[in-house]
C-alpha cells in the first residue's frame, strides 16, 4: 500500500477512537456497552497503530530512514492495549484505568495534536 492509502485507513480507524475513547473514559464503567465499545476501541487502536508502522515519518528526523518520534506512540499503543486488557481480565481495575487514560491522552491527544503540525496532511486539510 502506498502512503496515501495507509493514511486514509489510519484516519478511518483512528477517528472513531476519538469518540469511543472519550465515551469509555466518561461513561459508567463495567456496563455491557462500556465493555463492548471498549473492545472495539482497543481493536481499532491496535489496527491504527500497526498501520502507522508502515507509514514513514514525513516531518522531522528519521530513525532507520523510516521511523520518526511520532512512531513512539504506535509502539506505546501496541504495548498498552494488551496490557490494559490483561489488567482488567485479572481484575486490576486501577491498572486498567491508568493505562486507558494514558493511552487516550498519549495516542489520541498528544499524537493527534502532532498531526496538526505544519507539513502534515491534517494541517493542510484544516488550515489550508
- Cβ atoms of 107 and 49 closer than 8 Å: yes
pLDDT above 80: residue 116: yes
**34 CB-near residues (< 8 Å, 6+ apart):** 24, 27, 28
Q: What is the band of 127 on the pLDDT scale with cuts at 50, 70, 90? A: confident
Q: pTM here?
A: 0.90
Three-state SS at 8: helix
Interval 104-113: pLDDT, tens: 999 999 988 8
Q: Tell me which residue has cell 469509555.
A: 24
Q: What is the band of 59 on the pLDDT scale with cuts at 50, 70, 90? A: low
Amino acid at each position: 500500500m502506498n502512503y496515501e492509502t495507509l493514511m486514509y485507513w489510519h484516519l478511518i480507524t483512528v477517528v472513531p477512537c476519538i469518540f469511543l475513547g472519550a465515551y469509555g473514559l466518561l461513561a459508567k464503567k463495567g456496563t455491557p456497552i462500556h465493555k463492548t465499545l471498549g473492545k472495539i476501541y482497543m481493536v481499532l487502536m491496535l489496527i491504527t497503530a500497526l498501520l502507522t508502522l508502515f507509514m514513514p515519518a514525513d516531518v522531522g528526523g528519521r530513525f532507520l530512514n523510516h521511523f520518526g518520534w511520532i512512531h513512539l506512540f504506535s509502539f506505546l499503543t501496541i504495548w498498552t492495549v494488551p496490557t490494559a486488557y490483561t489488567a482488567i481480565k485479572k481484575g486490576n481495575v486501577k491498572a486498567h484505568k491508568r493505562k486507558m487514560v494514558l493511552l487516550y491522552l498519549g495516542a489520541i491527544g498528544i499524537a493527534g495534536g502532532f498531526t496538526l503540525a505544519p507539513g502534515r496532511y491534517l494541517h493542510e486539510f484544516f488550515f489550508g
